[in-house]
Amino acid sequence: CWQMKQLTNKDEILHLKRGIYRLKRHLVENIISIGISPFLMNACACIVVIFMNNQLVKYGGDMAVGAFGISYSVAMIFIMFVIGLDQGMQPIAGYNYGSQQTDRLMRVLKLTIFAATGIMVTAWLIAHLAPYYCARMFTKDPELIRQSIKAIQINMMMYPIVGFQMVVTNFFQCIGKVKISIFLSLSRQLLFLIPLLVILPNFFNLDGVWGSLPSSDFLASLVAAIIMTIYMRRLKQQSINNQNLKS
């Protein structure tokens, strides 16, 4: 309400006027293309949580669902830090890509990957050195704590490389590579996690449900690394060609 009051206040330098704001198709298309990747990722995350809970109820009961909820909450603490880094990288990466400053683009990408990896390594260390205290923040039930410790350790097993996958996905979104960004956003959840949630429990029961999480993290990070390596080679070649044209 306060924002609308400011935007409609005629005494302000910037304010809304009737009849002068019209949607421009190319701008709307650009906005949608940039926002579709995180939208699909969040939508798929909701679907995955529903599917995950159903599998946990089937193979582990309500206690397993509670353990997953605790492990997911602990994981989100660190994931939110990485999301913040991604959002901070967006305008810098987009500007340098648009101005063809390849060196600065690579520096900001490497710095963001380094920071995200540091955060996720910290998460991994906490998950393996102090899982009891993480679970203890949410419950006092001994059995739920026991299952939550296992869930936290397995869920965050591949976190040292998950930060890389998240940054790379956001990087392609920043530079307008929408299709690649969407593919990487959906790869972990739709391409890998859901099939693994169907297949692995048939062989390993509840352990198969838990094991599907780090397995999908590893596969998604591997795909991101392959795509990023290919793109980096093309970007370096493009930078060399631009330097040759200038000289």
Mean pLDDT of the chain: 87
- The tens digit of pLDDT for each residue in 104-134 reads 888 999 999 999 999 999 999 999 999 999 9
- Rg of the chain's alpha carbons, rounded to an integer? 22
CA distance 116 to 162: 9
CA distance 16 to 13: 10
State the residue for tokens 């969040």.
42
- The tens digit of pLDDT for each residue in 96-106 reads 888 888 888 88
CA distance 48 to 190: 8
Please state the pTM of the whole predicted model: 0.83
CB half-sphere exposure, 31, CA atoms < 13 A: 6
CA distance 122 to 109: 20
Q: How far is residue 179 CA from its own chain's centroid?
A: 16
CB atoms near residue 137 (< 10 Å) = 9
CA distance 7 to 104: 36
- The tens digit of pLDDT for each residue in 42-69 reads 788 888 888 899 999 999 999 999 999 9
Close Cβ partners of 235 (under 8 Å, ≥ 6 residues apart): 102, 106
Nearest to 105 by CA among 161, 176, 165, 184: 176
The confidence score (pLDDT) of residue 101 equals: 84
pLDDT greater than 80 at residue 182 = yes
